[in-house]
Each structure stands twice: as C-alpha cells, then as structure tokens.
Amino acid sequence: MGYDVRNYYAGTWTDARSGMRFESTNPANYHEVVASVSLSGREDVDLAVAAARDAFQRWALTPAPKRGELLFRAAAILTERKEGLGRLVTREMGKVLPEGLGDVQEAIDMAFYMAGEGRRLSGETVPSELPDKDCKSVREPHGVVALVTPWNFPTAIPAWKLFPSLICGNTVVLKPSSTTPACAAALVEALADAGIPPGVVNLVHGPGGDVGEYLAIHPDVDAVSFTGSCAAGERLHSLLAGLHRPFAAEMGGKNAILVMDDADLTLALEGVLWGAFGTSGQRCTAASRVIVHERIHDRFLEMLVNGANRLRLGPGLNPETDVGPVVNRQQMDRVLEYIRIGVAEGATLAAGGGRYEQGPCADGYFIQPTVFSGVHTAMRIAREEIFGPVVCVFRCSCLEEGINMANSVPFGLSSAIYSRDVNSTARAERDLKSGLVYINASTIGAEIQLPFGGWKSSGSGHPEAGGKGGALEFYSRTKVIYRDFSGRLQKAQID
Ligand code: UN1
C-alpha cells in the first residue's frame, strides 16, 4: 500500500466526489504502487475554486510581509523534510536521488526567495508633470489562479508557481500531473503545516485532459499558469482564447550545445552527458542536440559514445545509478518510437537505441542512453522534442553555421557553447535565440533568482522564477494611482 493522497480544499484533505481512485507507480518498478489517489471530476474542481474564491479577499488584504512569514515557515518545513521528499520524488518520478533532492532544493530555494519578496513587491514612484500631484504604481493580485504542472519536476515546478502566486496575494488551485500526485500533495502539506489559511491553497488530482482543462476555463478562475507539452499548451491556449485571462505557458525545448574546436573537450563531454542524460533527458532544458565543429567532430563523437555506453542504468535510489528510468510506459513508447523514426530517417545509431531490461531494470521503463550521429537539420529527430535519453550529433564548419543550426528549430528555451575563445562565446551569447544561454556549462541547471522562460514555441513569454521580468510580473497586475492634492482641476498634457 502506498500513500493515501486526496484532494485538498478549504483546509481539508477530502476524497473526490466520485469516490474513485487511481494509482501512481514507481517507474523503476511498475509493480510498486507509490500512492492511491482521489480521482477528481468537475464537481471537485468547482469546490476547490469556490474555496479559493472565498479565501481570496482576506488573503489579498493580509500584508505581504505576513504572507512572506508563512512562506518562510513553509521553506523551513520543506528543508526539514528534504530527505524524505527527495526519496519520494525518486520513487514516484524516477530521477536519481541526488536529482530528487535537487528538485526539492529548488522548491526550497523558491520558497525562501519569494518569502523575501513579501518585503519588496515594489512598484514605481515617479514625478508628475503637474504640481501638487503624485504618481505611483502598485502590484495587485489577480484573484484565483489555476496552476497546471508536469511530472518532470514534481515539487520544483509546482513551487515555481505556488510561491510567487501566494506572495502576490492570489489564492490557488493546483492540478499537478496525475503521474506524480504524491509529490505535489507533500508540497501542499508543507504549506498547510506552515499555517497557510484554509482555501488559500487548494489541490485537485486527475487527468489533465479533463480536470486540468475544466479548471483552466472555469468561469471563476482569473489567471492560468501551465507547464507541459506543446500540444497541451497550445490546446489550452485555444480553449482560453476569448476568456481574457492571463495565461502563462512553459512548453518544449530542443536545446543545443555547440562544441567548438577550441573547447576543453573533457569539460564539454561532461556537460553533454549531464545535459542529455540527466533526468533521463526529461527536462525541457535537456540537451537534445550537440553541434560539433568538424575539426573535432569524430574525436568528440567517439568520446560521447564511450561516455554514453559507460553510464549505469538503474533504479534512482541505488547510489550506483547514473541514469534512471523514463517516467511511464507511454513516455517509453514515445521515445522508442522517436528512435525508430531517427533510424528510418537515415541517422546513424552510434550508442544505445533500445529498452533496457537487465537485472534490477527488468520491471521498469529503462531506455539506453542513445546517441544519433549524422543527423541533418531537416529530420524530425532534429526538430521535435523527444523528452528522453536521446541526443543528436550534428557537424558544423564554423561558429556562424553552428549558431544558425542551433537557431533553426521552432523552440528557443536553452542553449550552450563550449569554447575557450572569448570572442566566440561573446558572439554566441549575443546571437543564440533562446531564453537561457550557458557559456562553458550545459543547457540545464537554471537558478531560481533569474527569470526562466522560453522564446518562440517554448513559451508564452511570461517567464517563471525570480529577477526582473520574472514570475512576479505574471502573478500580479499593475495598478497606477495618480493623486492630485492641488484642490483644482489640472489637465495633463494641456496645462
Ligand atoms: C524543466 O526542464 O522542466 O534549469 C525545468 C533546469 C532546472 C529546471 C528545469 N532548474 O534544468
């Protein structure tokens, strides 16, 4: 028996109205049930949204530093529970334990950061063009915010959305991926234990296609934040058209690493292996393309193939494991299908290429770290997000060609360059068309104190996380206040 995971609204853990349940299982061993979960329907969403609406006014009027104190408490509780939560992330999602702990650490970082924002949340004060008049802007919450989150960062991504929403004074309904419901519930439990008032945070479990969509278009929801696949994001976008509510979407990536002929190849290799096969390639920032200068192409490819073949597949709780499973059968089938597509398109399978079922991997969804070489930019495997442990290697003849190849896909989340030449890295920094650019580091591992957001098809242009232009912009709206204390009619632009 796994965890008993229920919905949470109005401060109470509650079974779904239907009384029905579903299970989450361990991707490293699908016989192991991690949680039995309430299967919600529309009436559960109605109840959660109503609870959030009831709580809104009071929460919005609670001074932001006081809201921050509750978030500080939640951050401290998450810190105390980090080890257990990290293990839960590994069991339910599959990533190796150091990454499970990192997932939780990212949630903790976000909680502390946003808690501190409770004492900033600044607007502007500027001079008026008229005497005896002042002008300022303030931030106000939207109201009830719907948060729809994926399974690949099952505590970090809900935290990216929950903490800024809450510090801005919104109340929320979270609909986490039905693949990782226990992780989301543990995060909400930390908030509840920190003393967040009833109704401020609400949680419903169920499939995105039904429960998530119904929540997003619910008439009493004021803003929607989504992270997930492009297909789901685009569908939500079309459903929301005409509803005039702010919609933030973080979607796919097809991130490239450029390896120039003057790079430290050992360092570049580590970065490519980490970016391509960390989290089994299931990050939207994963390195799925490596564009290598022709002068070192063959040497680097050989290093990469050897490196990929050396990685040890296994359950994420096993300390020897380098690469865990992919999250479920559907993802496994999808990734294996892309590998077949790559072969059919004429790319060369240089490493991996299949499911792995040896020893402790027999009952899990394991895919060998896979390297394709001889990939051309027009191939599907070169353009579409695979979201698994598959990396495509390309050849370029110079920096400019490499940058053009990196920019040639519809996505623009993250990119990286390995080079020792300061001019090359400066050009790449300027010319790569993506929301994140890494110099002599892999495409993954963004920190929470700067915005995180994709360009082009990777996102709606509302970055997550901290810093100028980050999440606080989305989770609050600006009100401008002009106060005239002259006691007479003054006409801007005219007097
Ligand atoms: C994601 O890939 O969905 O930058 C999020 C990173 C992590 C977050 C990734 N901090 O790789």
**150: CB partners within 8 A, 6+ apart:** 157, 177, 227, 228, 229
Q: Where are the beta strands (DSSP E) in 238-389?
A: 247-250, 255-259, 287-293, 348-351, 370-373
Q: Does residue 1 register a pLDDT over 70?
A: no
Residues 310-337 have a mean pLDDT of 98
Residues 196-211 have a mean pLDDT of 95
441 and 270 in contact (C-beta within 8 Å)? no
Q: Does residue 262 register a pLDDT over 70?
A: yes
As a whole number, the mean pLDDT across the chain is 97
- With 0-12 / 13-18 / 19 or more C-beta atoms within 10 angstroms meaning exposed / middle / buried, residue 438 is buried
State which amino acid sits at residue 113.
Answer: Y
* Residue 470: strand, helix, or coil: coil
Q: Indicate which residues carry an active-site annotation.
A: 250, 284
CA dihedral in degrees (473, 236, 221, 168; nearest 10)?
A: -20
Q: What is the pLDDT of residues 269-288, one digit of tens each?
A: 999 999 999 999 999 999 99
Q: Does residue 464 register a pLDDT over 90?
A: yes
Q: Does residue 163 register a pLDDT over 80?
A: yes
Question: Does residue 284 line the site of ligand 1, with CB under 6 A?
Answer: yes
Q: Determine the atom of ligand 1 nearest the C-alpha atom of 156.
A: 8
Question: Does residue 117 line the site of ligand 1, with CB under 6 A?
Answer: no
Question: Does residue 229 line the site of ligand 1, with CB under 6 A?
Answer: no
Q: Does residue 208 register a pLDDT over 90?
A: no
Sorted by where each begins, the domain ranges of the chain are 3-251+458-481, 255-439
The CA 285 to ligand 1 mean position distance, Å, reads: 6
Residues 170-187 have a mean pLDDT of 98
Label residue 445 by pLDDT band (50, 70, 90).
Answer: very high
199 and 55 in contact (C-beta within 8 Å)? yes
* Residue 428: strand, helix, or coil: helix
pLDDT score recorded for residue 210: 87
Domain 255-439 has CATH 3.40.50.300: no
The pairing of strands 414-418 and 255-259 is parallel
Instruction: With CA atoms as reference, report the closest residue to 464 among 446, 481, 478.
Output: 446
Q: Determine the atom of ligand 1 nearest the C-alpha atom of 446.
A: 4
d(CA 269, CA 185): 37
The CA 431 to ligand 1 mean position distance, Å, reads: 22
Token pair listed for 320: 């020897």
Percent of the chain whose predicted confidence (pLDDT) is above 90 = 98
Instruction: Determine the residue of 283, 288, 385, 436 to mutate for testing ligand 1's pocket, defined as the one with the most ligand atoms within 8 A of the Cβ atom.
Output: 283
The CA 264 to ligand 1 mean position distance, Å, reads: 25
d(CA 52, CA 445): 33
* Residue 173: strand, helix, or coil: strand
d(CA 355, CA 351): 12
Token pair listed for 112: 């502390």
Can you give the pTM of this predicted structure?
A: 0.97
Residues 102-109 have a mean pLDDT of 98
Q: Determine the atom of ligand 1 nearest the C-alpha atom of 448.
A: 10
Question: Does residue 450 line the site of ligand 1, with CB under 6 A?
Answer: no
Token pair listed for 401: 């060609």
Token pair listed for 139: 């931030």
Question: Does residue 152 line the site of ligand 1, with CB under 6 A?
Answer: yes
Q: Does residue 479 register a pLDDT over 80?
A: yes
Residues 159-188 have a mean pLDDT of 98
Other residues' Cβ atoms within 10 Å of the Cβ of residue 492: 12
Residues 143-152 have a mean pLDDT of 98
Residues 183-207 have a mean pLDDT of 97
d(CA 52, CA 43): 14
Token pair listed for 175: 């609909």
* Residue 237: strand, helix, or coil: helix
Question: Does residue 283 line the site of ligand 1, with CB under 6 A?
Answer: yes
- With 0-12 / 13-18 / 19 or more C-beta atoms within 10 angstroms meaning exposed / middle / buried, residue 302 is exposed
Question: Does residue 458 line the site of ligand 1, with CB under 6 A?
Answer: no
Phi and psi, residue 452, nearest 5°:
-125, 110
The CA 336 to ligand 1 mean position distance, Å, reads: 23
Question: Does residue 285 line the site of ligand 1, with CB under 6 A?
Answer: yes
Buried b (16+ CB within 10 A) or exposed e, 15-37: ebbeeebbebbbbbbeebebbbb
Instruction: Determine the residue of 153, 277, 327 to mutate for testing ligand 1's pocket, defined as the one with the most ligand atoms within 8 A of the Cβ atom.
Output: 153
* Residue 151: strand, helix, or coil: coil
The CA 159 to ligand 1 mean position distance, Å, reads: 12
The CA 157 to ligand 1 mean position distance, Å, reads: 8
Instruction: Determine the residue of 109, 225, 277, 284 to mutate for testing ligand 1's pocket, defined as the one with the most ligand atoms within 8 A of the Cβ atom.
Output: 284
**Cα-based distances in Å from 385 to 118, 254, 285, 391, 392:** 37, 6, 10, 11, 11
Label residue 143 by pLDDT band (50, 70, 90).
Answer: very high
Q: Determine the atom of ligand 1 nearest the C-alpha atom of 414.
A: 4
Residues 203-230 have a mean pLDDT of 95
Q: What is the pLDDT of residues 324-333, one digit of tens each?
A: 999 999 999 9
The CA 296 to ligand 1 mean position distance, Å, reads: 29
Question: Does residue 446 line the site of ligand 1, with CB under 6 A?
Answer: yes
Domain 3-251+458-481 has CATH 3.40.50.150: no
336 and 298 in contact (C-beta within 8 Å)? no
CA dihedral in degrees (185, 186, 190, 191; nearest 10)?
A: -20
Least confident among 1-10, 77-86, 311-320:
1-10
Q: Does residue 19 register a pLDDT over 90?
A: yes
Question: Does residue 368 line the site of ligand 1, with CB under 6 A?
Answer: no
d(CA 4, CA 216): 26
Residues 45-72 have a mean pLDDT of 98
d(CA 337, CA 50): 43
Instruction: With CA atoms as reference, report the closest residue to 166 among 56, 46, 50, 7.
Output: 56
Other residues' Cβ atoms within 10 Å of the Cβ of residue 83: 12
Buried b (16+ CB within 10 A) or exposed e, 243-267: eebbbbbbbbbbbbbbbbbebebee
Question: Does residue 95 line the site of ligand 1, with CB under 6 A?
Answer: no
Question: Does residue 67 line the site of ligand 1, with CB under 6 A?
Answer: no
- With 0-12 / 13-18 / 19 or more C-beta atoms within 10 angstroms meaning exposed / middle / buried, residue 129 is exposed
The CA 128 to ligand 1 mean position distance, Å, reads: 43
Token pair listed for 182: 């226990």
**293: CB partners within 8 A, 6+ apart:** 259, 260, 261, 396, 397, 398, 402
480 bridge partner residues = 137
